[in-house]
């Protein structure tokens, strides 16, 4: 029920209604004590019927308010009015990302994609905000374009931290999908919007952590780049099934100019297993879209959750500068010490100067290819690196190609373009299995 202008909610006086959504109504109000304008979101009274749930919500909202991060909506206070919980926050001017994308109501609506550089800018700000919350152990649980606000000066603000606590099941045996099904019957527009951004863990009703937010982050980034939702179906059930079992349409199908490195960031966010989803730490604010994507993939900014490569020395050989740079970034991001060269000849020279734990070499190189390189290396004595574990990089992945790679002297084949998660796993496994002595 709409609250009339002039109504007092504690020290706050309602001035006007700003808008409403599935999670409640938002009002422009005045903080009479501090003499400032604020926004008050009043949530449905039904969400506060369980005292323990309301207490957890208040604790999390207060924790989010203590973050004081420029990319998170500043929360000033929480309370209740006639049984309805409310959140007092800073008053923003601008629009939600949903509005910016030009979305129309309905699951199959097509919006307008953002310019790639703008999408990257928003993604960087969004990642900063999520990282700040995750470092404090605060999970959003309902990240979507509707909960991302773009101010008039183009600053990203994440809305509704803590609100999702109110819709979590009190009974741990109750699956999240049960809640979504119930809400579909009463408020399909809201739930269908939320369902499309849920992580597989949420769909299965399992415990969620920061990696669930990162899956949702990937869905938002996908939509910013394509103008389309990553997971869509004729019903909520079909959408949930798509999240669990299907992959979104290739981004290049809608925009051929998307940087491949940026697209890989999106796909890694969509990993179905939470063990290989990207944790967010920190992202440099000013860099090109491709450089940002490389940083996201290869460093501790959005480093892939993989075994640490600390203390490993890796020799990377690839005649393609971009590929060489990206591979080096991925490995150094996992704390490996990397030497990268562009030719087989330089690789042999480096092996004369120093010892390495793992070799990662391209196959298709001029003058001396990867096959000739590994043949020369295997002729070296063990103390000079003749038994170094090696991975071959090649765009050819047929059975014959893989057999040739193994018979030439490499331990494993890595297909191009390189997937950071696979690369770090391969290097870690090679070092563990071949480079380190076995304990007896």
Active centre residues (catalytic): 142
Buried b (16+ CB within 10 A) or exposed e, 63-73: bbbebebebbb
- Distance between CA atoms of residues 371 and 60, nearest Å: 57
Q: Which of 140, 96, 93 is nearest to 122 (CA)?
A: 96
What is the DSSP annotation of 67-126? S--TTBPPEEEEEEETTEEEEEEEPP-EEEHHHHTTPPSSTT---PPPPHHHHHHHHHHH
Pairing of strands 12-21, 75-81: unpaired
- Distance between CA atoms of residues 217 and 292, nearest Å: 15
| Token couple for 323 | 């590929």
Name, in order, each residue with C-beta under 8 angstroms of 108's C-beta and a sequence gap of 6 or more: 232
Query: How distant, in Å, are the alpha carbons of 57, 125, 158, 231 from that of 150?
Result: 25, 10, 9, 23
Long-range contacts of 40-44 (CB under 8 A, 24+ apart): 40/9, 40/12, 40/14, 40/86, 40/87, 40/88, 40/89, 41/86, 41/87, 41/89, 41/160, 41/163, 42/3, 42/81, 42/84, 42/85, 42/86, 43/84, 43/85, 43/86, 43/87, 43/163, 43/166, 44/84
- Distance between CA atoms of residues 50 and 335, nearest Å: 46
Buried b (16+ CB within 10 A) or exposed e, 291-316: bbbbbbbbbebbbbbbeebeebbbbb
What is the DSSP annotation of 119-153? HHHHHHHHHHHHHHHHHTT---S--SGGGEEEETT
């Amino acid at each position: 029920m709409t609250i009339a202008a002039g109504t007092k909610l504690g020290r706050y006086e309602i001035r006007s209604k700003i808008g409403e959504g599935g999670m409640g109504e938002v009002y422009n109000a005045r903080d009479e004590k501090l003499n400032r304008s604020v926004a008050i979101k009043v949530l449905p009274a039904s969400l506060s019927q369980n005292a323990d749930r309301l207490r957890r919500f208040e604790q999390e909202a207060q924790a989010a308010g203590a973050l004081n991060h420029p990319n998170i909506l500043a929360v000033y206070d929480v309370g209740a009015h006639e049984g309805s919980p409310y959140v007092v926050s800073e008053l923003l001017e601008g629009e939600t990302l949903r509005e910016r994308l030009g979305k129309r109501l309905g699951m199959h609506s097509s919006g307008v994609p953002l310019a790639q550089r703008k999408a990257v800018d928003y993604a960087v700000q969004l990642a900063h905000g999520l990282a700040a919350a995750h470092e404090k152990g605060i999970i959003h649980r309902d990240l979507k374009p509707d909960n991302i606000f773009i101010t008039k000066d183009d600053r990203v603000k994440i809305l509704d931290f803590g609100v999702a606590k109110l819709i979590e099941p009190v009974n741990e045996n109750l699956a999240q999908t049960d809640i979504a099904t119930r809400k579909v019957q009463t408020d399909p527009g809201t739930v269908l919007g939320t369902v499309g951004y849920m992580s597989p863990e949420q769909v299965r009703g399992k415990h969620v952590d920061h990696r669930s937010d990162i899956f949702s982050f990937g869905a938002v980034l996908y939509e910013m780049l394509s103008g389309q939702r990553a997971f869509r179906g004729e019903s909520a059930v079909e959408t949930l099934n798509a999240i669990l079992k299907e992959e979104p349409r290739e981004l290049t199908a809608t925009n051929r100019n998307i940087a491949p490195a940026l697209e890989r960031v999106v796909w890694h966010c969509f990993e179905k297993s939470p063990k290989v989803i990207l944790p967010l730490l920190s992202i440099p604010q000013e860099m090109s879209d491709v450089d940002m994507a490389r940083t996201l993939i290869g460093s501790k900014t959005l480093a892939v959750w993989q075994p640490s490569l600390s203390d490993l020395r890796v020799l990377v050989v690839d005649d393609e500068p971009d590929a060489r740079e990206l591979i080096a970034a991925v490995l150094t991001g996992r704390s490996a010490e990397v030497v990268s060269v562009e030719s087989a000849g330089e690789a042999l020279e480096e092996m004369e100067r120093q010892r390495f734990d793992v070799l990662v070499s391209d196959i298709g190189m001029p003058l001396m290819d990867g096959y000739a390189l590994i043949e020369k290396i295997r002729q070296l004595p063990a103390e000079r690196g003749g038994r170094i574990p090696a991975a071959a990089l090649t765009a050819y992945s047929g059975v014959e190609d893989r057999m040739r790679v193994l018979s030439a002297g490499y331990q494993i084949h890595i297909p191009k373009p390189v997937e950071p998660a696979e690369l770090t796993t391969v290097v870690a496994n090679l070092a563990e299995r071949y480079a380190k002595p076995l304990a007896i």
